[in-house]
Structure formats: structure tokens, C-alpha cells
Amino acid sequence: RKLGYAILGLGYYATKIIMPRFAECEHSKLVALVSGTPEKLKTFGEQYGIPESHRYSYETFDRIVDNPDVDIVYVITPNGLHRTFTERAAKAGKHVMCEKPMATSAADCQAMIAACKKAGRKLMIGYRSRFQAHNIEAIKLIRDGAIGPVRSISTDHGFTIGDPTQWRLKKALSGGGSLMDIGIYSLNAARYLTGEEPVAVNAMESTDRSNPRFKEVEDIINFQLLFPSGATAQCGSAYTANFNRYRVSGPKGWIELDPATSYQGQSMRAALGGPPAPREPAPQAKNQFSAQLDHLSECILTGREPIVSGEEGLKDLRVIEAIYRAAREGRTVKL
Ligand code: NAD
């Protein structure tokens, strides 16, 4: 059976990356659209065969409660709006997929978890790398002991941000700079590669505040994480440098992905007791986007919890808040 998704927020990621991927889904279909722009509702409604009865504005969105075709609302708006739309979707009796970062504060994440719990609906965060073949292979190799216990992770995520007027550079809508948007991939990877939660954080920020892009949010913020096992992570996050990689090292070897968390083109190298060599992971049946969409549908159909539930989103936001505090106060913050 295929569950019905409503996509809320018809921006770049929704329309260019996610919506075309329903074609490869087994358990998910696109059945409704929610947007503040009537022209987008018309264009994408016609393109995807969504009838007018299944097209909503942000004002009429709450009427989705009366639409039995919609099982899940996928929130793909600027970060600062994730909480309110998640709460409204849950109140309308719908399950929720919400993009990363889950919200702009840990308190908002907690409110979103509470809203979905109260409604008896599932909440999943769009951590697509957990469904990507190379990342799945890296986690499996580590859990199988291929490099021994993880001792050190080095990871960097960044890109050059352009248009100074975009929402990513407005604190009220983004919650912060590169860390909220792209550095979160370094943090999330360090957590899923170790399978542990950090207990202490250091951080250092570098932002040219005279640059019109960085009036409200940070550019570079590098941070270190200490895990309970003694594993450590050096993590980079930037809006003026391009990278997307991680290397995980232990006493028996290392695994490297570069790029690591991109939309496509992941490349893996590993030294597992021998010389470094390229490695091709076991193929996955579906691309990361379709697999992510189907995961929530399957969890709903079978009564399981998503592997990246709201709790996962909350854990990242708690560490993000500690990273900002560590940078601001120039000290190690314990978690
Ligand atoms: P975008 O700017 O392309 O799209 C945002 C959409 O939200 C637009 O359609 C815009 O009209 C709408 N919107 C509604 N209210 C708005 C408001 N008050 N101000 C501005 N826009 C408003 O952004 P995007 O790149 O599609 O990002 C959307 C979300 O998806 C963000 O949370 C982002 O972090 C996430 N994202 C995730 C990935 C991923 O790989 N998982 C990739 C890109 C973006």
C-alpha cells in the first residue's frame, strides 16, 4: 500500500530534489501540495496531477484534516517555520516528515515531539544520509569492528553561500548560520558513525561581520566533540569554503567518504588492515530520497519508530546550542 504525502513549502529542495523521487517509491505517493504562492500550486499541481481539491495555501492548510488521502505532511520550509507547521499538521491528525535542522531551538524540538505524541502521530526528520549506500556501509563496517573502536573522526561540511537576501542568512528564519544548515551534517555524521552522544564540546567561530551576508549569522564555526568511549571528532562548518567529507579512524584502519553527504556521487576509500583502496558499498535498492520517504510510510504501516525520529533532531539541536555557547564563552561546554 502507498501512503499519501502532502509537500508543504515548494522551494528548491521540495520541487527539484524530493518531488521527482516519489516515482521510485514503493510505499509513498505525492497526493497534495501546500504553498503560499498560487502560481506554484497551479504549476506543480498540473505537473504532478494533483487536483485543486488537494492544493492548499498556508491559510487553508488546516482543512487538510478533512482529506483522508493525506497520511503525511512533509515540511520543507525555512527552519524557523518547522515548528508551527509540524504542530498544525499533527493537530490535523497527520504524520510528519520535517526537514533538518528540526527547528531553531531544542525547546521548539521538544514542543514538536510533544505535539505529535499528543496527536498519536509519527515524526521523522529528513536525515537522508542514513538511507544512502556509502553511509550505510561505513556504519556497518564500523559496527562490525573493521577499524576497531572509533578513536578519531575528522569531518567538514561547507559551501559558498550567495544571495545576501536569502532566508538562510536571516536569523529569525534560519536559527543560525552554516552550523544550522550544513555543519549539522558534520555533527550528525559524528553521532551516527560513533553511535554515541557527545559529552563535551569546544568551538571556535570566524565570521567577517562587515560582509553583508554575515550581519546576522555565522560563517565558519569549527567544533570538537568528545564521546563517552573516548572517541573524538574534529568538525568543520562553513559558508565560505567548499567541502563535504569525513574520515573515521581506529587502531585497525580508517574509512573515508568524499563527498560524504551530497545528493549524489559519494566516493569511499578505506584502509582496513592493508593499503588504502577505493571501496564500493553494497548497492541499495533505492536512492536515499525515495528510501527516506518510504521509511516513514513503512514505519506507519508496521507500527515502528523511524530510525531518525524527532528525538534524533532534538539531540542535534541540543549539541548545536552547546556549540554556540562554547564558541561564545570560549570554554568547553559539558553535556
Ligand atoms: P528554499 O528557499 O528553496 O525553499 C523554501 C520554501 O519555503 C520556498 O518555497 C518559500 O516560498 C517557502 N516559504 C514559506 N514561508 C517562507 C518565509 N516566511 N520566508 C521564506 N520562504 C518561505 O529553501 P530550501 O533549500 O528548499 O530549504 C527548505 C528546507 O529544506 C530547509 O529547512 C533546509 O534546511 C532543508 N533542506 C534540506 C536538504 C537536505 O538535503 N535534506 C537540502 C536543502 C534544504
Question: Of 106, 125, 144, which marks where a domain is finished?
Answer: 125
Question: In the prediction, which pLDDT does 282 show?
Answer: 85
Please report whether residue 268 resides in a domain: yes
Q: Whose CA is nearest to atom 17 of ligand 1?
A: 78
Q: Is 77 in the pocket of ligand 1 (CB under 6 A)?
A: yes
Rounded CA-CA distance 1/12 in Å is: 28
Handedness of CA 63, 66, 67, 68 (dihedral sign): positive
* Mean pLDDT along residues 259-285: 96
Contacts of 87 (CB under 8 A, 6+ apart): 111, 112, 115
**Residue 175 and residue 109 share a domain:** no
**CATH code (residue 98):** 3.40.50.720
Please report whether residue 175 resides in a domain: yes
Q: Whose CA is nearest to atom 6 of ligand 1?
A: 11
Candidate from 13, 135, 316 with most ligand 1 atoms within 8 A of CB, to mutate? 13
Q: Is 13 in the pocket of ligand 1 (CB under 6 A)?
A: yes
Question: In the prediction, which pLDDT does 283 show?
Answer: 87
**CATH code (residue 161):** 3.30.360.10
Question: Percent of the chain beyond pLDDT 70?
Answer: 100
Please report whether residue 28 resides in a domain: yes
Q: Is 58 in the pocket of ligand 1 (CB under 6 A)?
A: no
Read off the pLDDT band of 205 (50, 70, 90).
Answer: very high
pLDDT in tens, 297-320: 999 999 999 999 999 999 999 999
**Residue 68 and residue 85 share a domain:** yes
Contacts of 46 (CB under 8 A, 6+ apart): none
Please say if the pLDDT value at position 21 is more than 90: yes
pLDDT in tens, 29-53: 999 999 999 999 999 999 999 999 9
Residues with a known catalytic role = 100, 185
Work out how many domains the chain is built from and give that number: 2
* Mean pLDDT along residues 15-23: 98
**Residue 68 and residue 152 share a domain:** no
**Residue 213 and residue 258 share a domain:** yes
Domain extent, residue 160, equals: 132-282+316-334
Average pLDDT over all residues of the chain = 98
**Residue 174 and residue 116 share a domain:** no
Please say if the pLDDT value at position 87 is more than 90: yes
Nearest atom (ligand 1) to Cα of 261: 40
Kindly give the interhelix angle for 82-91 and 106-119, rounded to the nearest 10 degrees.
Answer: 10
Rounded CA-CA distance 248/229 in Å is: 15
* Mean pLDDT along residues 150-165: 98
Question: In the prediction, which pLDDT does 88 show?
Answer: 99
ipTM value > 0.85: yes
Read off the pLDDT band of 122 (50, 70, 90).
Answer: very high
CA of 242 to the centre of ligand 1 (A): 20
Question: Of 125, 145, 174, which marks where a domain is finished?
Answer: 125
Question: Of 73, 103, 125, which marks where a domain is finished?
Answer: 125
The amino acid that residue 227 corresponds to is F
**Residue 145 and residue 107 share a domain:** no
**Residue 34 and residue 87 share a domain:** yes
Please report whether residue 294 resides in a domain: no
**Residue 115 and residue 179 share a domain:** no
**Residue 203 and residue 92 share a domain:** no
Rounded CA-CA distance 21/133 in Å is: 16
Q: What per-residue string of b and e applies to 95-123 under the rule 16 or more CB within 10 Å gives b?
A: bbbbbbbbbbbbebbbbbbebbeebebbb
**Residue 53 and residue 121 share a domain:** yes
* Mean pLDDT along residues 266-289: 95
Nearest atom (ligand 1) to Cα of 181: 34
Please say if the pLDDT value at position 191 is more than 90: yes
Question: In the prediction, which pLDDT does 185 show?
Answer: 98
* Mean pLDDT along residues 5-14: 98
Q: Is 38 in the pocket of ligand 1 (CB under 6 A)?
A: no
**Residue 140 and residue 26 share a domain:** no
Q: Is 191 in the pocket of ligand 1 (CB under 6 A)?
A: no
Q: Is 194 in the pocket of ligand 1 (CB under 6 A)?
A: no
**Residue 163 and residue 183 share a domain:** yes
